[in-house]
Amino acid sequence: MVMSVLRRLGQTLFVLFGISVLVFLVFFATPGADPTARIAGRNASPETMARVRVEYGFDRPLPVQYARMMEKLFVTRDLTSYVNRGQKVVPEILEAAPVTVSLVSGAALIWVVLSVAMGVTAAALRGGWVDRGLMMLGLVGISIPVFWLGQVVNLVTQSRYHDSWLFSWVPGLGYVPLTEDPLGWFRALALPWLTLAVLFVGIYSRVLRADLVAVQSEDFMRTARAKGLSPMRVLLVHGLRTSMITFVSLFGLDFAQLVGGGALLTEVVFGLQGVGRLTYQALSNLDLPLIMATVMYSAVFVVIANAVVDMLYLFLDPRVRDGR
């Protein structure tokens, strides 16, 4: 157990290293483009150019350049943006990260709870109208574009009905840090959470229902029924617990890509300055240091999430624990 955890940790570090090398090569070692000029600015004096070149090691071999870049990213954290001169990139990300993490965690909680409830109910009442209704609802959730939904939510809660008793609690767009004002944080994020969760509630409830229905025909489910257990117990204790294994792997991937910047549209509609928006800005301005930093950040998240999912597997599936 400890060995496999350690091995997984080693793999994680290795993957992160690989990604950083790749990103570095793609953005900074492209032949023909001199990053010095861009970092130094448009009308930089030759002295400034020379200083930047030495500072970033652009006059040295590639491995040194890579090491310098990583040092600036992780150790001194003074990598500066091309576009907003003087703007330090790493603090910018550290500021955006809590916004995104708050947004995605809340939404994830909502979508897990709702989709499990919907999936289990639909599977328990398989073939009936409740089942059909819930699955239709899921399909609707999947097909609503999140950007459009966000706009509608804003239209209703921010302008049209903002003064009605129903939505007067909704604050203006933007983020409120949890540490400053927990209630304000909750209010600011409640609607973004729901909006972001809709798509995933749809997907997860449908996937879970399909899994639960498929597991019904397994031998062990028949055994569980032959033991005289109640249908609910058979479904939850034996069916759901086993179906959780696929559910968790799906969740790990989605959660990671959202925290890594995939919640861009939701962030934009609700005026949240999160990582997705930052990445978008970096890409549209070709702000290489910021791109480098955001990509590294996303990679860290995806890789960590994968590692966490693997650990969860160990916990959920004894067969994996024994390396089978």
Partner 1 sequence: MLLAVRDLTVALPIGGRLVPIVESVSFTLGAREILGIVGESGSGKSVTSLAIMGLIDVPGARISGSVRFRGRELVGLAPRAYRALRGREIAMIFQDPMTAFTPVYTVGRQIDEQIRAHQKISRSDARARTVRLLGDMGVPDPERVAGRYPHQLSGGLRQRAMIAMALSCNPALLIADEPTTALDVTVQAQILDLLRGLRRDYGSSVLLITHDMGVVAETCDRTLVLYSGLVAERGPTGALFAQPGHPYTAALLDSIPPLHGPRPARLPSIPGSPPAPAGRPAGCPFAPRCAYVHDSCAVRPPLVACGEQDVACVLPAEGRPLPPRFVAEMSA
Residues binding partner 1 (CB under 8 A): 127, 218-220, 222-231, 233, 237-238, 241-242, 316-319, 322, 324
Q: Which is nearer to partner 1, 55 or 317 (CB)?
A: 317
Amino acid (1-letter code) at residue 162? H
Instruction: Give 63 or 128: the residue with its C-beta nearer to partner 1.
Output: 128
Of 121, 134, 146, 261, which Cα lies nearest the Cα of 200? 146
- Quote the least distance from Cβ 256 to partner 1, whole Å: 24
Question: Cβ closer to partner 1: 78 or 218?
Answer: 218
For the bound state, the minimum distance from the C-beta of residue 113 to partner 1, rounded and expressed in Å, comes to 22
- Taking alpha carbons only, the member of 322, 248, 263 closest to residue 96 is 263
DSSP letter string, 282-308: HHHHT-HHHHHHHHHHHHHHHHHHHHH
Q: Which is nearer to partner 1, 53 or 238 (CB)?
A: 238
Let me know: does 21 contact 66? Beta carbons within 8 Å: yes
Contact 176, 295 (CB under 8 A): no
The distance of closest approach from Cβ of residue 127 to partner 1 in the complex, given in angstroms and rounded to an integer, is 6
At 144, the amino acid letter reads I
Tell me the closest approach of the beta carbon of residue 139 to partner 1, in angstroms.
Answer: 23
Q: Minimum Å distance from CB 206 to partner 1?
A: 20
CB of 216 to partner 1, least distance (A): 8
Are 247 and 211 in contact, with CB atoms under 8 Å apart? yes
What are the C-alpha distances in Å from 147 to residues 131, 199, 264?
28, 11, 10
Q: Which is nearer to partner 1, 38 or 225 (CB)?
A: 225
Name the residue nearer to partner 1 (CB basis): 240 or 292: 240
d(CA 146, CA 148): 5
Query: What value, to the nearest 5°, has the Cα angle with vertex 129 and ends 126 and 132?
Result: 70
Least distance (Å) between residue 8 CB and partner 1: 21
What is the Cα–Cα distance from 220 to 226, expressed in whole angstroms?
9
Residue written as tokens 């203006």?
Answer: 172
Contacts with 24 (C-beta within 8 Å, 6 or more apart), sequence order? 65, 66, 69, 292
Please, what is the end-to-end C-alpha distance for the chain in angstroms?
13
Residue type, 206: R
Instruction: Kindly tell me which of 11 and 216 has the beta carbon lying closer to partner 1.
Output: 216
CB of 250 to partner 1, least distance (A): 18
**Which residue lies nearer to partner 1 by CB, 72 or 238?**
238
d(C-alpha 210, C-alpha 204), whole Å:
10
CB of 271 to partner 1, least distance (A): 44
Q: Between residues 69 and 234, which has the closer beta carbon with respect to partner 1?
A: 234
